[in-house]
Amino acid sequence: MEDENNTQHVGDGGFTPVNANVARYDKDYLIESGLFNFVDRNILKIALEDGSQYSQDEAREAINKFERGDN
């Protein structure tokens, strides 16, 4: 489903630009998606910024950076 901003909604709350090669999701969608385990979801709550969008790879990298202490 496309809206007036040329974006495509994915699930409840996440969306990605129609022409993007990589799907991007908002913080809440990634946390609630079931893609990450309990500990990783809690890290995402801390490591990701509200209002920003991330690919799954970017979210995993944020988890890795947090675990290494590279915040």
Q: What local confidence, expressed as pLDDT, does residue 8 receive?
A: 43
Q: Do residues 66 and 59 touch, judged by C-beta distance below 8 A?
A: no
Q: Do residues 53 and 25 touch, judged by C-beta distance below 8 A?
A: yes
- pLDDT tens digits for the chain (71 residues)? 344 444 444 445 555 555 558 899 999 999 999 999 999 999 999 999 999 999 999 999 999 999 999 86
pTM assigned to the model: 0.69
Q: What local confidence, expressed as pLDDT, does residue 47 receive?
A: 97
Q: What local confidence, expressed as pLDDT, does residue 33 receive?
A: 94
